[in-house]
Amino acid sequence: MSQHIPATLRQQVLGQAGGLCAYCRSAEALLGVTFEIDHIVPLSAGGGTTADNLCLSCPTCNRQKGIRQTASDPASGEETPLFHPLAQTWGDHFTWSDDGATVIGLTPVGRATTALLRMNRPVLVQMRRYWLALGLHHPTR
């Protein structure tokens, strides 16, 4: 279910995002697609269209997440909450591989989110390698 997001709120979310997907950290300018505003807690679960519940998301992360708030941790099989980009710090739950092309989940939240959102799908990992070679991708830990 989509809901109209007022222009001022949309601009606030875009300004805070720095042009990056809140989940996979891909740059909108490099993917060549328009990123979307994600309701972190879905409307259907009582989340609101407010600054503290909206983030910038690439279309793939947004579609994979959908209305889910939990996923299975691949390491333990336990159901765990997904990463909340405004309430949690990316670097506490994820890091980059040594070559900077792959997202590594450090915690159950990070592993479950990485797996569910397909943050390391082959085409994206390959694109990150190209961006790294061109000096366009700057992974930070």
- Whole-number Cα distances in Å, 82 to 9, 64, 122: 24, 12, 22
Mean pLDDT of the chain: 94
pLDDT at residue 8 greater than cutoff 90: yes
For the chain, give the percent of residues with pLDDT over 90.
92
Residues 20 and 30: their CA atoms lie apart, in Å, by 10
Q: Given its phi and psi angles, is residue 30 left (phi above 0), alpha (psi -120 to 50 degrees) or beta?
A: alpha
pLDDT of residue 3: 65
pLDDT of residue 58: 96
Average of pLDDT values for 31-45?
94
Confidence label for 1 from pLDDT (cuts 50, 70 and 90): very low
Q: Where are the domains of the chain?
A: 7-133
Chain position carrying tokens 């994820």: 94
pLDDT at residue 141 greater than cutoff 70: no
* Digit-coded pLDDT (tens) for 55-107: 999 999 999 999 999 999 999 999 999 999 999 999 999 999 999 999 999 99
pLDDT of residue 139: 87
